[in-house]
Every structure is written in structure tokens, then in C-alpha cells.
């Protein structure tokens, strides 16, 4: 199996490039799935996916010998699936129906990133030849790799384990068996949040802790999979005006985390064509186009001069003459990606 992860800021065409890459792989005979962890779900419109389905096969016209699948990240559904797969016997309904569960699943900051890694783990076990991952369009895209590791460290910390042990004592022993220090801490917390809420939180933790610990173990393994250079590569998508800034930021971020950078695509580039300018309004317009093309060429030269030694390839993808909507446009992009990427 191989995994391609696409990174980029908003408006650079990252989702289109990711979908086109997956389509090209399927055309080449691979069983491929493209997953978007972008909350905006732009993949749905790019591939014209059916509403209401979180995972579906995309029909391909002949002569496609592979398969193309698409998946959308749903935080609640992913967490529900994890509970059903990994909860101890008899605990599934108790966890799913607990009043604290809905709050955590729907409102807890960071759940999007935590469940992204969980979803990647689930899909990596499904026998696909390739996974293509479309990340959120942000400089914070790598948080989906950072937050699961923070969570794993938190779950394994001594003070979190102490909370779980203390609740068991509270539930099975007289309060006098606890130290005055522990009693004082709980008394203060209950005074702020209310006794019922504190007990609900502790009760939920006591039944959810095995799920949290299991998630932490899987997250560590999944991040290790994404760090394996033989399996995973990260690709940066940018545009001419953003190229220097975006490439520097993402490349530094990937290198500091020890992830393999596969290359950089400078999308929506106006390439030089050598056409004559002409006269009048048409000539002025042609001159303007030529100036933009020259600017893009200069940006690309600067980009290659600074980063050629740090990445396997820096390639351009031309600006399309229409919006990317459906497979025909993605076919064109996919052909360019396949031809210009160095693997």
C-alpha cells in the first residue's frame, strides 16, 4: 500500500489535485480511495458524489482496470464505529447513550483531527492499493498529525490514570478512605461545575478509558505509518503567488516532524506560449497575459532555485479554462499529475 497526503492553503486547488491523483491511479489499475478530512467537503462536488453517503465507489468508464472510492470524514460516525469495534462487551450502548458522549463527539476541540487519524487507520486495513488524503486547506493542516500524539501522551500520563483510580475508589469505598488532599480537590471542582456534572464526567471516563487507550495505541501506529518513507509521501500544492511562502512553511513543518516530502505542485500556472502581442485592446490584453506568465515563470525559477535540493520534484499544473466539476476535468489534471510527478 502507498499513501499520498496533499497539503495546501485555501484556494490553491488541493482537493482537485488529490481527487485527480486518485483517479489517475485507478485508471492505472489500482484500487484507490481518496479521503477528505476537510470539513468543507469540497471532494463531494469535485467527484459529484451522492448526498448522504460517507463512502462510495465512483463509477469509471472503460478502459479503467482499477477502482476509485471516495470517503468523507464524519467525526461522529467515525467515533461511533470505533466504540462499536473496540468497546468491551456490554459497554457499547452504555457509552453511546451516555450524556457526556454526545458533548465529546460533537463539541470537543480537536475531535476532527483525532478522528482523521482513526479514519485513516480504518481505511488502511481495508486492502486498498493506494490512499490519497486531502487535508484541510490551512497552515494548521498538520494538526491532524500533532493532536493525536498529544492525546496519546495525555492518556498515558500519571495524573489522568490517577483520576480513573480515584473515581473507582469513590464509587466503591467510603469517602473517608480518600486522602484529605484528594477530597479537597474534588470538593473544589464540584463547587465550580456541580456535583452531578463531575460525577457524570468521571463515570464516563471510567467506561471510556479503554477506548481512549486503544485509540492512543492505534494513533501512534498510524502516525508511524505516515512517517514511513517507503509507504507515505506528502505533497504540497500551491499557486505562483503563494509558492515561496507556502513551500517554505510546509517543507519546514514536514522536515521538523520527519515526514517525507514527495514534491511540490505549483497549480494554476499560466505557462509561456510565445504568442505575438498584436495591437489595440487585444494587444494590451495579450501584453497583460504575457506579463502574468513572465511573473509566474520568475516565481517558479525562484522556487526551484531555493528548494530544488530539498524535494524530489517541483512541477507546474496549468490553469484550466473552466471550473473543476466532474471526472472529465479531473482526467486532464490527473494526466498532468502522473506525467509531471517524480516517484
Asked if residue 187 has pLDDT above 80, the reply is no
- Reported as a single tens digit per residue, the pLDDT across 207-234 is 888 899 999 999 999 999 999 999 999 9
What pLDDT sits at residue 62? 82
pLDDT-wise least confident of 56-60, 110-114, 120-124: 110-114
Asked if residue 202 has pLDDT above 90, the reply is no
Name the residue with higher pLDDT: 324 or 294: 294
Task: Read off the CATH number of the domain in which 331 is found.
Answer: 3.40.50.300
Question: For the chain, what is the mean pLDDT?
Answer: 85
Report d(CA 34, CA 22) in Å as an integer.
6
Record the pTM.
0.86
Parent domain of 94: 2-141+227-340
Q: Cα 272 to chain center, whole Å? A: 34
112 within a domain of the structure (yes/no): yes
Domain count across the chain: 1
165 within a domain of the structure (yes/no): no
193 within a domain of the structure (yes/no): no
12 within a domain of the structure (yes/no): yes
115 within a domain of the structure (yes/no): yes
Q: How confident is the model at residue 84 (pLDDT cuts 50, 70, 90)?
A: very high
- Reported as a single tens digit per residue, the pLDDT across 294-317 is 889 999 999 999 999 999 999 999
What pLDDT sits at residue 193? 43
- Provide the CB-side half-sphere exposure for 291 (13 A, CA): 6
What pLDDT sits at residue 165? 57
Q: What is the mean pLDDT of residues 317-324?
A: 80
Report d(CA 117, CA 220) in Å as an integer.
9
323 within a domain of the structure (yes/no): yes
105 within a domain of the structure (yes/no): yes
Task: Give the 3-state DSSP-derived string for the chain, with helices as H, strands as E and coil as C.
Answer: CEEEEEECCCCCCHHHHHHHHHHHHHHCCCEEEEEECCCCCHHHHHCCCCCCCCEEEECCCCCCCCEEEEEECCHHHHHHHHHHHHCCCCCHHHHHCCHHHHHHHHHCCCHHHHHHHHHHHHHHCCCCCEEEEECCCCCCCCHHHHHHHHHHHHHCCHHHHHHHHHHHHHHHCCHHHCCHHHHHHHHHHHHHHCHHHHHHHHHHHHHHHHHHHHHHHHHHHHHHHHHCCCCEEEEEEECCCCHHHHHHHHHHHHHHHCCCEEEEEEEEECCCCCCCCCCHHHHHHHHHHHHHHHHHHHHHHHHHHHHHHHCCCEEEEECCCCCCCCHHHHHHHHHHHHHHCCC
What pLDDT sits at residue 179? 47
- Reported as a single tens digit per residue, the pLDDT across 242-258 is 999 999 999 999 999 99
150 within a domain of the structure (yes/no): no
Q: What is the mean pLDDT of residues 260-270?
A: 95
Asked if residue 190 has pLDDT above 60, the reply is no
- Reported as a single tens digit per residue, the pLDDT across 136-176 is 988 788 888 999 998 888 887 766 666 655 555 555 555 54
Amino acid at each position: 500500500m502507498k499513501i499520498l497526503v496533499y497539503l495546501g492553503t485555501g484556494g490553491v486547488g488541493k482537493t482537485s489535485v488529490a481527487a485527480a491523483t486518485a483517479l489517475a491511479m485507478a485508471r492505472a489499475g489500482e484500487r484507490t480511495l481518496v479521503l477528505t478530512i476537510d470539513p468543507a467537503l469540497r471532494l463531494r462536488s469535485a467527484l459529484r458524489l451522492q448526498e448522504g453517503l460517507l463512502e462510495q465507489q465512483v463509477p469509471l468508464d472503460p478502459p479503467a482496470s482499477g477502482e476509485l472510492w471516495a470517503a468523507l470524514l464524519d467525526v461522529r460516525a467515525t467515533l461511533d464505529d470505533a466504540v462499536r469495534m473496540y468497546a468491551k462487551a456490554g459497554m457499547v450502548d452504555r457509552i453511546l447513550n451516555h450524556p457526556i458522549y454526545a458533548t465529546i463527539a460533537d463539541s470537543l476541540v480537536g475531535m476532527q483531527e483525532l478522528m482523521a487519524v482513526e479514519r485513516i487507520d480504518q481505511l488502511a486495513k481495508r486492502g486498498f492499493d493506494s490512499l490519497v488524503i486531502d487535508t484541510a486547506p490551512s497552515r494548521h493542516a498538520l494538526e491532524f498529525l500533532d493532536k493525536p500524539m498529544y492525546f496519546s501522551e495525555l492518556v498515558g500520563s500519571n495524573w489522568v490514570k490517577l483520576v480513573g483510580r480515584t473515581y473507582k475508589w469513590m464509587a466503591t469505598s467510603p469517602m473517608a478512605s480518600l486522602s484529605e488532599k484528594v477530597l479537597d480537590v474534588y470538593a473544589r471542582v464540584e463547587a465550580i461545575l456541580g456535583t452531578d456534572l463531575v460525577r457524570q464526567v468521571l463515570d464516563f471516563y471510567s467506561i471510556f478509558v479503554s477506548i481512549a487507550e486503544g485509540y492512543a495505541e492505534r494513533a501512534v501506529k498510524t502516525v508511524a505509518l505516515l512517517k514511513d518513507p517507503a509507504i507515505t509521501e506528502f505533497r504540497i500544492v500551491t499557486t505562483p503567488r503563494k509558492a515561496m511562502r507556502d513551500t517554505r512553511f510546509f517543507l519546514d513543518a514536514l522536515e521538523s516532524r520527519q515526514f517525507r516530502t514527495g514534491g511540490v505542485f505549483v497549480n494554476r500556472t499560466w505557462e509561456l506560449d510565445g504568442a505575438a502581442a498584436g495591437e489595440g485592446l487585444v494587444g494590451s490584453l495579450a501584453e497583460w497575459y504575457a506579463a502574468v506568465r513572465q511573473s509566474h515563470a520568475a516565481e517558479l525559477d525562484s522556487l526551484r532555485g531555493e528548494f530544488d535540493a530539498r524535494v524530489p520534484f517541483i512541477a507546474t499544473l496549468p490553469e484550466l479554462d473552466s471550473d473543476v466539476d466532474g471526472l472529465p476535468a479531473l482526467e486532464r489534471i490527473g494526466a498532468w499529475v502522473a506525467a509531471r510527478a517524480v516517484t
